[in-house]
Amino acid sequence: MTKGKKTELARLDRASFLAASHLRREDVALPDVGVVSIKEFTAPQRLAYLKYLEIGADGLPKFPPEKQVNLSKFILSLGCINEDGSPMFASMDEVPEMRADYYEIIGKAILQLSGIIPADEVIDNLPNVKKTDTAPSP
């Protein structure tokens, strides 16, 4: 029985560790526009996102409609990056108005890359949002 070779990882010193990019990145295509670069949330950003949602004891988001409107902008402000890896937006106020599906495409990709529940589950659990599931009932 032959064992596979174990890949040796380089040991990082402090300077190398601090210089390394530990966050996963991805490019997201927007129809008719181009490509946007995103990154996963840092640990503090993930906590800020969860705090923003105000998760109730039942595990569902509990926040007023004005926060629902800004949720996508908040997600994009944390996850969109420039080519050099710097944040694209300093705050959610800088995120421009755009087609609703662009918010959904980018936001869902950021949440998935960050290991957070898919955006569809967040949207489906918001009050005042109709589900559009048209699958036939059993």
**For residue 65, how many other CB atoms are within 10 A of its CB?**
11
pTM of the entire predicted model? 0.70
- Specify if 22 maps to a domain: no
Average pLDDT in the 69-75 region? 87
- Could you give the percent of the chain with pLDDT greater than 90? 38
Average pLDDT in the 112-118 region? 81
How many whole angstroms separate alpha carbon 18 and alpha carbon 31? 36
- Specify if 97 maps to a domain: yes
Average pLDDT in the 91-98 region? 93
* Residue located via tokens 């991805």: 26
**For residue 88, how many other CB atoms are within 10 A of its CB?**
17
Q: Can you tell me whether residue 34 is helix, strand or coil?
A: strand
- Specify if 52 maps to a domain: yes
* Total of domains in the chain: 1
- Specify if 135 maps to a domain: no
Q: What is the CATH number of the domain that holds 99?
A: 3.30.2220.20
- Give pLDDT, residue 134: 37
pLDDT band, residue 114 (cuts 50/70/90): very high
How many whole angstroms separate alpha carbon 11 and alpha carbon 4? 21
